[in-house]
A = this chain, B = another copy of it.
Amino acid sequence: MSTAEETARGDDQPWAEVGPEAARRLLVAAVEAFAERGYHATTTRDIAGRAGMSPAALYIHYKTKEELLHRISRIGHEKALEILETAADGDGTPSERLAAAVRSFVRWHAGHHMTARVVQYELDALGDEHRTEIVGLRRRSDDTVRRIIDDGVRTGEFDVPYVPGTALAVLSLCIDVARWFNVEGRSTPDEVGVFYADLVLRMVTAPDRARK
């Protein structure tokens, strides 16, 4: 699936906020180029060419290649955080909220796996200031998952030896979906999300405790 197809599907649409249309087209072209060849092997000329524009037209919207990566990374991370916060702030028990968080986080990483790979694997290419900003968004995502798990520990639904490590593992399991997910495979993003929500609920419920 190309990024254009990802975009066309319109679910959890990540680039809708980007305007004007030329700026959005360049961003989508940059995601495709970075995902295929890596950030360092991609030139602004490559990106402009993919978008059917001249390098000069690119510079009207983005001063540097790093600015494009930063924009992609920030939108991707903000979307991920929003997904997690929506689930964390929802109604329901901690189990229901954790399952909702995993379902929608996985769905996003499967449905937008090309974008997610750029967002997750090219962090080191960001400039210092931009990386610091993105690390801040990542911390908030971590905190959001910890908060749900903490709630479940308080109600007695969950029993985990170490909340921060468990929160990291939950996010890590979901993020890695972007690496292996294949649109030609047999599972849809929704199906993987449902399956993973079950696996994660098992992770936070100690078998020993469940036996009591």
Q: How many copies does the complex hold?
A: 2
List, in ascending order, chain B residues with CB within 8 A of A206's CB.
Answer: 202
> Is the beta-carbon distance between B41 and A195 smaller than 8 angstroms?
no
Nearest CB of B to A174, in Å:
9
Q: How far is the CA of A206 from the CA of B179 in the complex (A)?
A: 27
Given A162-B195, A195-B162, A210-B211, A180:B168 Cβ within 8 A? yes
Interface residues of A, Cβ cutoff 8 Å to B: 36-41, 120-121, 124, 161-162, 165-166, 168-169, 172-173, 175-177, 179-180, 187, 195-196, 198-199, 201-208, 210-211
Other A-B contacts than A168-B180, A173-B173, 10 sampled, CB-CB below 8 A, are A40-B41, A162-B195, A165-B187, A166-B199, A169-B195, A172-B176, A172-B180, A207-B207, A207-B210, A210-B210
